[in-house]
Amino acid sequence: MLDKEFKYYLDHQDELVKSHYSRYVVIKDEKILGDFGSEIEAVLYAKNNLHLEIGTFLIQHCLPGKENFTQFFSNLLFT
């Protein structure tokens, strides 16, 4: 699914936390496409401005530790 994007986040978590602390980043193809103050802002930007389909990009909250990437969100609200 989004294994490549998640691996990119894990491999770069420390530097991403430093540069995007507590922000929500949009990750696609191992690139940061933007950072936002909320998940909904990030999703809407990716969908409406970048014209990305739900399920083709990762929204990740940039915080230290592994607790911040153990949530699952459904895309039912955005279809």
* Closest to 36 (Cα-Cα) out of 48, 6, 1: 48
The structure tokens 């998640």 sit at 6
User: What pLDDT is stored for residue 66 in this prediction?
Assistant: 86
On the CB side of 52, CA atoms within 13 Å amount to 18
User: What pLDDT is stored for residue 67 in this prediction?
Assistant: 79
pLDDT in tens, 41-67: 999 999 999 999 999 999 999 999 987
The total domain count for the chain is 1
Q: Is the pLDDT assigned to residue 16 strictly greater than 60?
A: yes
Split at pLDDT 50, 70, 90, the class of 4 is: very high
Judge whether 52 and 45 are in contact, CB under 8 Å.
no
What average pLDDT does this structure show over 63-79?
Answer: 67
Q: Which domain holds residue 25?
A: 3-78
- The amino acid that residue 66 corresponds to is K
Q: What percent of the chain has pLDDT over 90?
A: 76
The structure tokens 């430093």 sit at 18
Tokens at 23, concatenated? 């922000």
